[in-house]
Amino acid sequence: MSDQQLEFVQLLTSHQGRLYAYVFSLLGNVDQARDVMQETNKVLWQKSSEFELGTNFAAWMMRTAYYQVMAHRQKCARERLVFDDEMTAQLAAVSETRTSQMERRQTLLQDCLKKLSNKNRDLIRARYQNGFELAVIAEKMNRKTNAIKQALFRARAALIECVRANSEEPISGEAP
């Protein structure tokens, strides 16, 4: 496999969660979303040579998925509950906006994580990236579980404040 193909596969696999969420938001059916996602992956792979590395993969992927959803809808037109084209386009627009907002927030979160102390960053990673239970983290750090819980609370609060302070749009729970 060439370096370009490997990079494409890495992009494709790293965006699978986002792809599924987008397709599901347009179809509202788990099984149909999985089918359309598989078809979208097939089309993306077939058209991989058309994608320019360094451009917006997520936008290209979602545009392809949108067309696959529309094709799927045409196949299912005989079913009783099918959104019309206008409704699907509106759902797609909302989903794309939310995806864009989530990408900005993830970038902000990564920037804010860098601002934490090494100790707090390690604590956040142990809990949320590695999925360790509080008791396991406490044992590894030779601290009490309640102390870890308190430290995590403070680290999360610092991250939330940092993201809010640097965000252009309100974070959920804030007044617009």
- List the one residue out of 73, 89, 85, 64 whose CA is nearest residue 29: 73
Q: Specify the CATH class of 1-99 in words.
A: mainly alpha
Two structure tokens written together for 103: 């990408």
Mean pLDDT computed over 1-28: 87
Cβ neighbours around 91 below 10 Å, total: 18
Which of the given ranges, 2-6, 43-47, 86-90, has the highest pLDDT on average? Answer: 43-47
Cβ neighbours around 4 below 10 Å, total: 12
| 120 vs 79 pLDDT, higher one | 120
Compute, in degrees rounded to 10, the torsion defined by CA atoms 87, 89, 91, 94.
-140
Confidence of residue 106 (pLDDT cuts 50, 70, 90): confident
Confidence of residue 98 (pLDDT cuts 50, 70, 90): confident
CA end-to-end span of the chain, whole Å? Answer: 48
Q: Does residue 144 surpass a pLDDT of 90?
A: yes
| 90 vs 155 pLDDT, higher one | 155
- Looking at residue 156, its pLDDT comes to 92
Confidence of residue 132 (pLDDT cuts 50, 70, 90): confident
pTM: 0.48
- CATH 1.10.10.10 correct for 116-176: yes
Buried b (16+ CB within 10 A) or exposed e, 95-128: bbeebeeeeeeeebeeebbeebeeebebbbebbe
- Looking at residue 174, its pLDDT comes to 47
Instruction: Write down the domain spans for the chain.
Output: 1-99, 116-176
